[in-house]
Amino acid sequence: MHVAVVGSGYVGLVAGACLADLGHEVILVDNDPHKLKALKNGQTPIHENFLPELLSRHRGHRLNFSDDLHEAVRASSAIFIAVGTPPTDRGDADLSYVESVAREISSAISEYKIVVEKSTVPVYTSEWVRRIILRNGADPECFDVASNPEFLREGTAVTDFLYPDRIVVGCDTDRAAQVLRKIYEPLTSGSYYVQAGAIPQPDRTSIPAPIIVTTTKSAELIKHASNAFLAMKISFINAVATVCESVGADVNQVCHGIGTDNRIGPRFLNPGIGYGGSCFPKDVMAFRSVARECGYDFRLLDEVMRINEDQRDRFLRKVRSALWTLRGKRLGVLGLAFKGGTDDIRESPAILIVQALLQEGCKITAYDPAAMERTQEVMSSNLKYANSAYEAAAGSDALLILTEWEEFANLDLDRLHGDLKYPIIIDGRNLYDPEVMAASGFTYYSVGRAASHPDGVPTGALKNGNGVKKA
């Protein structure tokens, strides 16, 4: 099929490349000339596994780039809107970019098209998109509006698109549903997976993918409810970690006991310094705003956000507990991205912690495998950058682990011990075993577990999260 994807940001770029890999003819539309030039020249603007291969494979063939939305709409049967929906000051989604695209699309509709929301939008957006297109003169028989939410995780977005848990399409007409079924037929029939050059299947996936057809309103709610639930799961286990520290339990053991219950499952039960990124913070706020507009005070979401913010403060208290005073201390930091596998620093808890420590007078040298260039664009010159984890640790009073990159979980502990001025590690991602760290000569702090000391005597659980150790 001929498909247009409007917006070459994270969602649009991944969707366009993957739709091309399914065999469709894709025009990726953006009004940023610098971004279009970079894409046409073969650059990949985001760090995402398999994306460079797909762009190289299809650029100039099944995947083309354009700034002419009108022509792209005329040439396509389906138009996916994947523009940004940033939060406003009130916390709801800014839909001005969606509205602008809808207005421009209307003038190019002369035969049947399906306009598909791919951006994360609140319920009723599909109705507004349809209304705007009609107001600008389109024939109501010549188009349908559908919702096709994305469930992509940064770092694994390509495989998430091509090996999805489910494909959700929200349509209010059978005609629209048939178009979307045809677009995703290579995945739902399984034909994509047997073709030469298919992206390798990741672990713990089943094929072919089920397709779930709902109304547009249900599809819009599925996306927000899914992200809010996952954020709630992260905040819940972080709250449990706080209790574990107070009573001297091991949160990793608690997670194992909880996660083996098949009603709950182990995914997203990872205690740490909180969630971040471009989706969870924005979508939780937007879902809360939607609920309030509907007359429901979704106070559970308030608590999810409060716990997430508090988790960063608790980590800072651990740093103070380990070092007593912070002004003038030299700290090595491992990780700046909000999670491993991506260069995205939007709402990154690692960045927020680094900023707080710099304000307290710390001298920080940081290393991240992918996110340092993006960090340099937004951070002050007071932050220094290293070329490796060991360079970041060299001469530091303590080492902080803030992002769960795989290489950070496999460091040479003997070398690290020699590089640090004091063998103190404060691990915000629980990448190491406290007993192993103590045996390796480290004073080791983590989340939801008692701190360990090289003399083999735990330093004790934190009392009420204020950094005061129990006697």
Q: What are the residue numbers of the active site?
A: 279
Torsional class of 426: left (φ above 0), alpha (ψ -120 to 50), beta (otherwise): beta
Sign of CA dihedral 25, 29, 35, 41: positive
The answer to whether the bond into 208 is cis (omega within 30° of 0) is: yes
Report helix, strand or coil for 57. Answer: helix
- State how far the alpha carbon of 13 is from the alpha carbons of 10, 342, 360, in Å: 6, 15, 39
Asked if residues 10 and 278 have their Cβ atoms less than 8 Å apart, the reply is yes
Q: Please name every residue paired with 64 in a beta bridge, in sequence order, or none if there are none.
A: 27
b/e map 273-306, b = 16+ CB within 10 Å: bbbbbbbbbbbbbbbbbbbeeeeeebeebeebbe
> Which stretch of DSSP H or E encloses residue 34?
helix 33-40
Q: Phi, psi (5° rounding) for residue 10?
A: -55, -55
Sign of CA dihedral 223, 225, 226, 227: positive
